[in-house]
Amino acid sequence: MLSGPGVPPRSAAGLMNQSDPRPEAVAVIDIGASAVKLVIAEIRPGERPFLIEEASRGVLLGKDTFSTGRIGPQSMDAALKALEGFRRLMDGYGVARYRAVATSAVREAANSDTFLDRVQLRTGLVVEIIDGSEESRLTYLAVRDRLKGHPALDAPHTLLVEVGGGSADLTLLQNARPKYSGVYALGSVRMRQGLAGMQRSHDRSVRVMGRHIANIVGDICNEMPLRSAGHVIALGQDVRFVAQELVEAPEEHVREVPREAFLEFCARVEKLDEDALVDRYGLSPVDAETLVPALLVYRALLTETAAGTVVVPDVSLRAGLLTDLVGSDVEANLTDFGTQVLASAEALGEKYRYDADHARAVAVLATRLFDQFQESHGLSRRDRLLLEATALLHDIGLFIGLRAHHKHSQYLIAASEIFGLTSDDKEVIASVARYHRGALPQRSHLPYIALDRQDRVRVNKLAAMLRVANALDAEHAQKIRSFTARRDEDAWVLDVDGTGDLSLERIAAEARADLFLDVFGTRLLVRGAGVQT
C-alpha cells in the first residue's frame, strides 16, 4: 500500500534511522480515459511503500477513442507532454523500477501502437496495455490490502465496483475472494460520448443514460447474483467525491456512506448540468463531465444489492499497481492468485451448468500428469494453473449442445471473464479446451494458428495431458483415485489405483494419447488393478 493520503506514514524515527538500507524509488503510471496519473514511492525491505510524489493531468483520451475510434493529435500531444513531465519527476527521484499501464481508451484506439511508439520515443517509457481482467486483479489487490479485517471484505458476498472513464469493473467477492467478475461498457466518458452530437436537454440525457444503464445492469444480474451482496465497496474518483461530501475522513481513510444518504445525494446531483456542478462544488470541467454518468451506474448497482452502506476506501488502480510491483512473497502471491483464478473458473462452470464432480476429477488428474511429466514438458507453475482452469471448464460447451461441444467450450471461454487471466491466457486455455477431444491441432484452425509459436507449443503440451486426464474419467464416475507414471522401454506407463472395472478408462486414455505421442514422442499405456489388457 501507499503512504501519503489514505496511507499511514512512516515514523520520523524510521526516516532518520541511518542504519536503514538505502530506499529504492519506484513508480507507477496509469493512462486512463480521462487522466494520466503518476505515483512515486520509496520502498525498504520489510516496510510498506512510502509515497513521495503524486501527480495527475486531465487528458480526455477516451473522448476521442469512444467517439472516433482513434486518439486525436491534440489529445495525444497532451498525453505526451504529461508523460514527459512525469519522466522528469521520476528521474529527479532516481526511480529504479516502474510499471506504466494504459486501459480502455488506449486499448480500444485503432492507433494505439502509434501512441505507444511515440510515448517510448519521446519519454523512454514502455507502456503496457492491460485488459479488464488485469484491471480487476490489480484493483482487488489494493482493496484487499487496505480493507484487511474490515467486515465488508470478509462478508459472505460483497460487490466490488469501480466506474472508470471507459468501463465499469465488477467483482463479486465471496469471503474476501473473487467469485464472479466482469468488465462492462458503462464508463462515464464512454456514455457521455454516446450522447455527443445529440441535441438533448440535460434531463433528457440523464433519462437516456438511465435506460441504457438499466439494460446492462439487468444483464449483469443474470451473470452475477448481485442481490446476495450484503456490502458494496466502491472505487473511483467520482464516488470518492461523494464520500468526501457526505462523511468526514476517519483516521483509516475508509469512508462508509449510508445507503439512503448516497441515494439522496445522487438524486440531487443528477439534476445539475456540468456548469452547475462546477459552480456548486468547484469541480474541474473534466470531473464535472464524468460525475453524473458515474453516479447513475453506482446507484443502479447499489439498488440491486442488500447493502446498507457504500464503503469507499482511498485506493485506486495505482495502489494495486504498486502493491503488485513491490510484492515480495512471490510463492505466496502465486498460490493466492491461483486460488482466485480457480474460484472464478468454477463460477463460470456453474453458470454453464458443468458437471462439477467430473470437472474437478479431471483437474486433479491433469495436474498430476503435469507434475509427473515435468521433466518432459518443461512448463511453468503458471502453465499448471492454466491447465487446471481448463480442466474445470473443458466441458462447458455442453451447455450449448453435445455435438462439437469442444468447439463451443473454446468460444465460451474466449468470450468470458475469468478473474486474473489476461486475454492471452484465455486464448491459450480456450484452445486447450478445444483439443480435449476430437481432432488434433491443425494449421487450418484459425484461433490456433493465430497464437504465436511459443503459445502453440504450450497448447499442444497442455492439451496432450488434458486429453488423457479427461479419458481417465471417461464414465464421469471418478473411479481412478491416483496413478504413478514410470518409464518402461519405449513407453510411459500409468499404474493406476482405482475402484471397479477400469477397462473403459484404459481404452479411452490410450486412444486419447495420440497427441501425447505426437508431442512427447512416447506411447502412453495404462496398467493396474481393475485394468484388463
Does one domain contain both 159 and 94? Answer: no
Residue 347 lies in a domain: yes
Residues 263 and 258: their CA atoms lie apart, in Å, by 9
CA 15 to chain centre: 36
Q: Which residue carries 527521484 as its cell?
A: 93
Q: Which of 168-172, 301-305, 416-420, 437-441 has the lowest mean pLDDT?
A: 416-420
pLDDT at position 160 is 96
448 contacts 442 by C-beta, under 8 angstroms = yes
Does one domain contain both 266 and 410? Answer: no
Does one domain contain both 113 and 97? Answer: yes
Q: Which residues partner with 157 through β-bridges?
A: none
Last residue within a domain, chosen from 130, 164, 182: 130
Q: Which has more pLDDT, 330 or 276? A: 276
Q: What CATH code is carried by the domain that includes residue 467?
A: 1.10.3210.10
Q: Give the tens place of pLDDT for each residue, 38-91.
A: 999 998 877 778 899 999 999 999 999 999 999 999 999 999 999 999 999 999
Does one domain contain both 126 and 142? Answer: no
Does one domain contain both 125 and 140? Answer: no
Does one domain contain both 79 and 168? Answer: no
Q: Which has more pLDDT, 310 or 335? A: 310
Question: pTM of the entire structure?
Answer: 0.81
Q: What CATH code is carried by the domain that includes residue 124?
A: 3.30.420.40
Q: Place 15 in a pLDDT band, splitting at 50, 70 and 90.
A: very low
Does one domain contain both 365 and 377? Answer: yes
Does one domain contain both 193 and 301? Answer: yes
Does one domain contain both 36 and 141? Answer: no
pLDDT at position 3 is 39
Q: Give the tens place of pLDDT for each residue, 410-429.
A: 999 999 989 889 889 999 99
pLDDT at position 417 is 87
Residues 157 and 326: their CA atoms lie apart, in Å, by 29
Last residue within a domain, chosen from 130, 159, 177: 130
pLDDT at position 195 is 80
Residue 160 phi, psi dihedral angles, 5° rounding? -105, 125
Q: Which has more pLDDT, 250 or 62? A: 62
* Whole-angstrom Cα Rg for the chain: 26
Number of domains in the chain: 3
Does one domain contain both 304 and 341? Answer: no
Using left for φ > 0, alpha for ψ between -120 and 50, and beta otherwise, residue 46 falls in left
Does one domain contain both 343 and 252? Answer: no
- Quote the domain boundaries for residue 270: 133-315
Q: Give the tens place of pLDDT for each residue, 489-530.
A: 889 999 998 888 898 999 999 999 999 999 999 999 999 866
Arithmetic mean of pLDDT, 221-243: 95
Q: Which of 135-144, 156-165, 357-366 has the lowest mean pLDDT?
A: 135-144
125 contacts 87 by C-beta, under 8 angstroms = yes
pLDDT at position 1 is 36
pLDDT at position 338 is 87
Residue 478 phi, psi dihedral angles, 5° rounding? 50, 50
Residue 203 lies in a domain: yes
Strand order of the sheet with strand 491-498? 480-488, 491-498, 523-528
Does one domain contain both 76 and 116? Answer: yes
Residue 472 lies in a domain: yes
Residue 324 lies in a domain: no
Residues 222 and 241: their CA atoms lie apart, in Å, by 30
Residue 264 lies in a domain: yes
Taking 60 as the threshold, does the pLDDT of residue 331 lie above it?
A: no
Residues 64 and 267: their CA atoms lie apart, in Å, by 29
Residue 401 lies in a domain: yes
pLDDT at position 224 is 92
Structure letter (DSSP) for residue 7: B
Residue 387 lies in a domain: yes
pLDDT at position 530 is 64
Residue 151 lies in a domain: yes
Last residue within a domain, chosen from 105, 130, 155: 130
Q: What CATH code is carried by the domain that includes residue 218?
A: 3.30.420.150
> Rounded to whole angstroms, what are the CA distances from 450 to 128, 390, 431, 445, 446?
21, 19, 11, 9, 6
Taking 80 as the threshold, does the pLDDT of residue 32 lie above it?
A: yes
Taking 60 as the threshold, does the pLDDT of residue 466 lie above it?
A: yes
Residues 162 and 297: their CA atoms lie apart, in Å, by 10
